[in-house]
Structure 1
Amino acid sequence: MQTPDDPRLAYYAERQVAPQWRGFLAALAGELFENVGAEASRGFLRQMGERMARAAPLPPAESLGDLSRLTNARLAEMDWGLAAFEDHGQALVIRHEAGPWRIAEDAEGPWPAAFAAVLEGLYSGWLRHQGAGASLAARLDLEASEDAVVLSFGRLP
């Protein structure tokens, strides 16, 4: 259970998506998913994330701790939340919390899925820039968490 001292709650309180963007982002994601289809939309949004990674690459990381520190510094610049990394052997698990995917009281709808797809591309781009092979990518793990975006970075099936 989260307590008032939980840093995630403090982050949410300070860094919400600006009200003027909430309706726009919800409408954009809704129209994209409805008119283009979910898979094509997710592919497009992954490409956007990869473009963002190329535009703002991470400096070289010497360790997983460095990667975490550098990633969180870049995310802080973007007001996009916090990331934690765990090495699971065949995959690197990325837990992204406090991101701007909650744009309405109702967290349902296409925006959380759209934001997760952008994160897939962003982390894939950042990690490839660190030297990961082109056959590796970040993909959403829908079963991992209800309060965070959890990605697994590894070989594509």
Structure 2
Amino acid sequence: MTSPELGRPKWDGFLRALMETLEAHMQPEEQAVLLRAIGGQMAALAPIAPEGTLGALEARINERLADQRWGVVSIALDSHGPALVLTHEALPVLPTTTDAEGRWLGPVLEGLHGGWIGAQPGAEPDVSAQIVRHGAASAVLRYGA
């Protein structure tokens, strides 16, 4: 008899080793470019169909995040300009030797959310998601000009 836990691998050790290897061999800017691209690829592998409202888009994103246990996001219009503000909470935290809060996940989130929102109808090709604030288990991103 097998337990459900045995059928699902735990990736913490692998991810920590991967991140610490990247930290040892790449400059922070290079790491960010790579991690952003990985986030974009994650979005491409789990695409979100075109949605007509922000509420529907938020719901679809949260379904994808729940599948991976990656927390929950709320999306609002930015009152300071033509942009969206994404508040991502309950993020997984995976510290490394040099990054106790696991901030390396920030560029992954930029690529992930940028990929999902950028694939929606009317999205501008040159617009991206950028981390505005990142703390332990939470992040705020801005998607807009």
TM-score normalized with structure 2 length? 0.81
Q: How does 1:104-115 map to 2 (within 5 A)?
A: 109=99, 112-115=102-105
Q: How does 1:32-51 map to 2 (within 5 A)?
A: 32-51=22-41
Per-residue deviation at 1:114?
2.0
Q: How does 1:32-111 map to 2 (within 5 A)?
A: 32-88=22-78, 89-100=81-92, 102-103=93-94, 109=99
CA distance in 2, matches of 1:140, 1:72: 18
Per-residue deviation at 1:37?
0.9
Per-residue deviation at 1:82?
0.3
**CA-to-partner distance for each residue in 1:100-128, whole Å, 9 max, x for gaps?**
1x135x89717722211111001111011
Secondary structure of the corresponding residue to residue 42 of structure 1: helix
CA distance in 2, matches of 1:57, 1:149: 22
1:137 pairs with 2:128: yes
- Please tell me the root mean square deviation across aligned C-alpha atoms, in Å: 2.4
CA distance 1:42–1:67, shift in 2 (3 Å): same
CA distance in 2, matches of 1:138, 1:107: 27
Structure 2 unpaired stretches of 5+: 1-7
Q: 4+ residue runs of structure 1 moved beyond 4 angstroms?
A: 144-147
Structure 1 unpaired stretches of 5+: 1-17
Per-residue deviation at 1:59?
1.6
Amino acid across the alignment from 1:93: V
Secondary structure of the corresponding residue to residue 128 of structure 2: strand
CA distance in 1, matches of 2:74, 2:38: 22
**CA-to-partner distance for each residue in 1:59-90, whole Å, 9 max, x for gaps?**
21111111111111111112111000110132
Tell me what 2:144 maps to: 154
8 Å Cα contact 2:113-2:129 kept in structure 1: yes
Per-residue deviation at 1:99?
1.6
Tell me what 1:6 maps to: none
TM-score normalized with structure 1 length? 0.75
